[in-house]
């Protein structure tokens, strides 16, 4: 477990070096209720031992500027997931689909070119593709935090696992 969390810290630092700084947090549940620690910037955390320790324990991160998340929170089925993924393949997007470890799926679309767009336009692009696939509209905002890939879900303890990726 210790080895895995160290990997998480260096993975988060690598991501922030490549795509710019973003925030992370640790989610936990108290009496079935979702709670989060205060969000902190990776760059800020990386500069102290205490911060690195926080990074190692983080299980949520902010959506990256190069990323679009399709969160299937309604009408969840493997069949629907495959329909969405087939459509993304038709477009030619690079993506990874995960079973969140909770109840649904997250499809992470990575599109480096998105970084060049203003936040306003990025949100419109996200909103369009999210609506097109009838997923959770909140994910259009760049400020939302999501469960970290390959990490145990803070509520169920099940690892967010890759189930399909782009061709």
Partner 1 sequence: MNEALKKLIYDMDDPDVIDEYKKINAKIDERFFDPLLLKHIHDELDKRHKLDHREKLGVFIVAASGYLRDARDHCSSASKGNSSSGKDNLLDTVLAHYPKDDWIKVTRATTATLEDDVQTKKIVAFSEINKNREFGANAEIVETFKQLAEGGTSTLKKDAKTGFKTAIRTEQKQKTLLYGTTETESDEELETRYVIIPVKGYREKNRVVVTDVLKKASDESFYLEKNKHEDSWIATSISLLDQEIQVIIPFSEILGEKVGGKEIFDTSKDRVKRDVKRIMSLTRANAWLHQKQRKNKFVNSMQFIYAEPSDFLNALRIFADFINLTYSGVDHRLQRLLEYAEKNVGKHEQEIKALGFQERYHGWILRHEAQKALKIGSVKTIKTWIQKLKDLNKVESHYDRYLSQKTVLFRPINQPFNNLALPVNIDEIDRLLQVWLGSDSAKEIYGEHKITPYSVDFEDYAQEIDEEPSTFSQENTGSELPCENLVVEEEFVTDD
Interface residues toward partner 1, by CB under 8 A: 91-94, 111-114, 116-118, 121, 124-125, 128-129
Q: Tell me the closest approach of the beta carbon of residue 124 to partner 1, in angstroms.
A: 6
**Residues paired with 29 in a beta bridge:** 34
- Whole-number minimum distance, CB 113 to partner 1, in Å? 5
Nearer to partner 1, 79 or 90 (CB): 90
**Cβ proximity to partner 1, 69 vs 129, nearer residue:** 129
Shortest CB 128 distance to partner 1, Å: 5
Instruction: Give whichever of 73 and 89 is closer to partner 1, judged by the CB atom.
Output: 89
CB of 114 to partner 1, least distance (A): 7
CA dist 45 and 24 (Å) reads 9
Length of the chain: 167
Contact 129, 68 (CB under 8 A): yes
Question: Residue 53 has which token pair?
Answer: 């320790």
Shortest distance (Å) from residue 109 CB to partner 1: 9
Q: Is the Cβ of residue 116 or residue 138 nearer to partner 1 in the bound state? A: 116
């Amino acid at each position: 477990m210790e080895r895995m969390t160290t990997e998480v810290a260096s993975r988060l630092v690598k991501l922030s070096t490549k795509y710019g700084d973003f925030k992370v947090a640790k989610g936990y549940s108290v009496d079935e209720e979702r709670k989060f620690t205060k969000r902190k910037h990776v760059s800020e955390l990386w500069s102290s031992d205490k911060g690195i320790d926080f990074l190692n324990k983080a299980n949520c991160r902010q959506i990256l500027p190069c990323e679009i998340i399709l969160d299937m929170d309604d009408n969840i089925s493997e069949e629907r997931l495959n329909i969405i993924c087939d459509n993304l393949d038709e477009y030619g997007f690079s993506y990874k689909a995960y079973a969140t470890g909770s109840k649904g799926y997250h499809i992470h679309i990575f599109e480096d070119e998105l970084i060049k767009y203003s936040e306003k336009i990025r949100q419109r692009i996200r909103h369009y593709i999210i609506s097109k696939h009838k997923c959770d509209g909140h994910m259009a905002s760049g400020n939302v935090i999501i469960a970290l890939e390959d990490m145990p879900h803070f509520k169920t303890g099940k690892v967010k696992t890759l189930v399909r990726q782009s061709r």
